[in-house]
Every structure is written in C-alpha cells, then in structure tokens.
Homo-oligomer: A and B are copies of this chain.
Amino acid sequence: MKTRFILINTSHAGNVGAAARAMKVMGFDDLVLVAPRWANVLRREETIQRASGALDVLSNARIVETLDEALDGMAHLCATAMTPRDFGPPTRAPRAHFAELLGSGDTLSNKELTAQAQNAQKPDSVAFLFGSERFGMQNEDVYRCHVALSIPTNPSFSSLNLGAAVQLIAYDWREALGGFSVQAAAAEPRLADAAAVSGMLRHWEEALIGIGFLDPASPKKLMPRLNQLFNRAGLSSEEIHILRGVAKAMLAARPSADKTVPVRGNPPAPADTPAAS
C-alpha cells in the first residue's frame, strides 16, 4: 500500500528528523513537507541528529508550497487531529479506522461500522497529514480528508509530540498492514513432556524425604503444589536435567546417605509447607 506522511508547517527541525526515523523504523519512506518553517530543514543539524540513520528518508523527502502538491497521487486522506470539530470528516481512533479501511472490520461492533465503511472500496494509497506543533491542522485542510484520526490519549494531557504522533500512526498502520515479525530467539526451548515432569517430581519427592523436608507420613499437598508450580513454569528438557541434578545433590547431601529408608518421626518441621492444605 502506497503510504505518504505529510508534515504541514512544521516548525521544529528535530521533529522532522524524528518523523523520518519513526517512519523508517516502521518501513515507510515517503515524506513530504508542506511549507516548513525552515527552507533548509532537511539539512539542519538537529534534523539529521534526530533522524539517526534515516538519512535516506530525508534525502528522498520533498518540500512543496501547497497541500495540493503534497497530495499528488494519494486516494485516502487521513487528517490527524486531537481536538474534535463540529463539522468535518468523522473522528476515529487509528486502529479501528485501519481495520475498517482494510476490510477486517467484521471484528468491530456494528456501531463502528458506518454505512461508509461497509460500502467503501479499499484505496490503493493512504496519506497521513500532520499539522504544525502549535496550531495543529487548519480546518480547510481537515475538510479535504476522509477521516480525522485521533490517537486515544489521557483526557487531561493529550499533548502528543509530533514525532511521537508520527511514530504511533506509523506503528498502527504497519501493524494493520500485517506487521513486521518479532525476531524471536533462534529456537524456543521445547517444553518437556508430562512423563519427564512426573519422573523429575518422583526424583524430587525422594530427595525431599531424604533431606527430611517432606514427611511421607504427612505429605499434605507438597508434591501437587510443586507439580502445579512447575506446570506454570513450562519446563524445558534442559531444566528437567537441572532439577534432577538438584535432586541428586540433595540425596547425596542427606545426613545418612547410605540409608535407603528415611528416618521416621524426627525430620525438621517443613518451613515452607502450609500448616493445613
């Protein structure tokens, strides 16, 4: 999907750099500036510093005088506006709107499915328009748009930085388009099977009796509790090995390692076992 970010009357060079970086990190590269405060904003030191490696986005960026020029070739226009207007395109949260726009709206409530969305065809290009830091978007620019996106924010502090707003919209749009995958660790450890877990638990039971922690005459729910704990932890085969090693060491360390029958009657009171269970 052709995607363009359009910054209108931006005054802080740092925000242009931050926007370029925010776009690139989400895989977008088409940036157009409409009448920025600084004509040389793409080459200013602060811009380049905040862009931090997204220099290709800056060097491909266009500076134009009017919004008309910036909208060239763009079908679906999204204003970004934090303050509601009593006239203009409908105000929507980005995620809900993107789901509608891309046709995954069937997971939304009927309330959110406007007549518009039900009948709309998918556009082939989307432009996101951002107003100036101080004044936001002008009404006449908002009126040209199909939707006013409003990022849901703290009602008592909705002052979102321009670069941060670009970052959030770029993220939501990328996720709506299918998203990048998370680089997981090379291989997630395989869960040990139930037989491995119960074998380990028998080993531990023997060891805990051996060191006098578990009284076989009054086992209470110690072993089921440990079983539940290890189930929640989702043990890997490697961890089964570690835990069996601990059991083995406990058995080797018990006071009478040569005995096979545990001493009855005088184990120390199990400190961690609840009094009743």
By a beta-carbon cutoff of 8 Å, the part of chain A in contact with chain B is: 18, 21-22, 24-27, 50, 52-54, 82-88, 90-93, 95, 114-116, 119-120, 150-155, 157-161, 163-164, 167-168, 171, 174-175, 179-186, 188, 191, 231-234
Given contacts A52-B159, A164-B18, contact A186 B86 (CB under 8 A): yes
Q: In the complex, which of the residues B50, B53, B155 contacts A180, with contact meaning CB atoms closer than 8 Å?
A: B155
- How distant is the Cα of A272 from the Cα of B113 in the complex, in angstroms? 31
Q: In the complex, which of the residues B50, B52, B92, B158 contacts A25, with contact meaning CB atoms closer than 8 Å?
A: B158
Given contacts A84-B185, A84-B186, A161-B18, contact A26 B154 (CB under 8 A): yes
A54, closest chain B residue (CB): B157
Pair B232/A120 contact, Cβ less than 8 Å:
yes
A229, closest chain B residue (CB): B119
Beyond the given A52-B159, A84-B185, A90-B184, please list 11 additional residue pairs across the A-B interface where CB-CB is below 8 A. Answer: A21-B159, A54-B157, A84-B186, A87-B185, A91-B183, A91-B184, A95-B175, A115-B191, A153-B180, A164-B164, A164-B167
Dominant secondary structure at the A interface: loop
- How distant is the Cα of A93 from the Cα of B183 in the complex, in angstroms? 9
Q: In the complex, which of the residues B54, B158, B164 contacts A163, with contact meaning CB atoms closer than 8 Å?
A: B164
Chain B residues with CB under 8 Å of A151's CB are: 171
How many copies of this chain are found per oligomer? 2
Chain B residues with CB under 8 Å of A119's CB are: 231-232
- How distant is the Cα of A54 from the Cα of B151 in the complex, in angstroms? 18
- How distant is the Cα of A229 from the Cα of B182 in the complex, in angstroms? 42
Pair A183/B234 contact, Cβ less than 8 Å:
no
A97, closest chain B residue (CB): B182
Pair B167/A152 contact, Cβ less than 8 Å:
no
Chain B residues with CB under 8 Å of A92's CB are: 182
A233, closest chain B residue (CB): B116
Chain B residues with CB under 8 Å of A161's CB are: 18, 21-22, 50, 52, 163
- How distant is the Cα of A119 from the Cα of B83 in the complex, in angstroms? 43
Chain B residues with CB under 8 Å of A27's CB are: 153-154
Shortest CB distance A165–B (Å):
9
- How distant is the Cα of A85 from the Cα of B182 in the complex, in angstroms? 12
Shortest CB distance A109–B (Å):
14
Given contacts A95-B175, A232-B119, contact A152 B181 (CB under 8 A): yes
Going nearest first, the 10 A-B pairs with the smallest beta carbon separation are: A115-B234, A152-B180, A27-B154, A119-B232, A150-B182, A84-B185, A164-B167, A91-B184, A93-B182, A116-B234
